[in-house]
Amino acid sequence: MVIRKTIKQNRFRLIFTLILILAESILGIMFPLFIGKAITSVLNSEVTGIWYLGILGIGMIVMGGFRRMLDSRFYARIYTRLSSETVKHLPENDYSKKSARLSMLKEMVLFAENQLPELITHSIGLVGVMIIIATLNIYIFIGTIITGCLITGIYLLNGNKTILYNTQFNNELENQVDILTTNRQSGLKQHLLKLMRWNIRLSDIETINYSLSWIIMMALLLLSIVLSANGDDIKYGVLFALIMYVYQYIESMVSLPLYYQEWLRLKEITRRIQVFDT
| pLDDT tens figures, 162-179 | 888 888 888 887 777 777
Q: How far apart are the C-alpha atoms of 255 and 56, rounded to whole Å? A: 24
Element (H, E) at 113: none
pLDDT surpassing 80 at residue 210: yes
The pLDDT value recorded for residue 110 is 79
Higher pLDDT, 76 or 4: 76
Judge whether 59 and 34 are in contact, CB under 8 Å: no
For residues 231 and 73, the answer to whether their CB atoms sit within 8 Å is no
- The answer to whether residue 42 scores a pLDDT higher than 50 is yes
Mean pLDDT, rounded, of the chain: 80
- pLDDT over 70 percentage in the chain: 85
Query: Is a pLDDT exceeding 50 seen at residue 24?
Result: yes
pLDDT score of 275: 46
Q: What is the mean pLDDT of residues 11-34?
A: 81
Please compute the mean of the pLDDT values over residues 44-50 and round it to a whole number.
84
Beta carbons within 10 angstroms of residue 136's beta carbon? 16
> Which residue from 171, 180, 178 is spatially nearest to 94, judged by alpha carbons?
178
Query: Is the pLDDT at 274 greater than 50, yes or no?
Result: yes
pLDDT in tens, 86-117: 677 677 676 667 777 777 777 778 787 877 88
**Is the pLDDT confidence value at 251 over 60?**
yes
pLDDT for position 142: 92
Bigger pLDDT: 269 or 127? 127
Output Rg (C-alpha) for the chain, integer angstroms: 23
The mean pLDDT value for 32-51 works out to 83
Segments forming the whole domain that contains residue 94: 2-277
The reported pLDDT for the residue numbered 277 is 45
- 138 vs 277, more confident: 138
Q: How many residues does the chain have?
A: 278
| pLDDT of res. 71 | 83
CATH number for the domain spanning 169: value is 1.20.1560.10
pLDDT of 221 strictly over 70:
yes
pLDDT (mean) for 37-63: 85
Report the pLDDT value the prediction gives residue 276, as an integer from 0 to 100. 44
Residue 233: the pLDDT is 56
Whether the CB-CB separation of 98 and 275 falls below 8 Å is answered with no
What is the Cα–Cα distance from 161 to 158, expressed in whole angstroms? 5
pLDDT at position 228 is 74
More confident residue, 219 or 113: 219
The tally of domains found in the chain comes to: 1
pLDDT at 127: 85
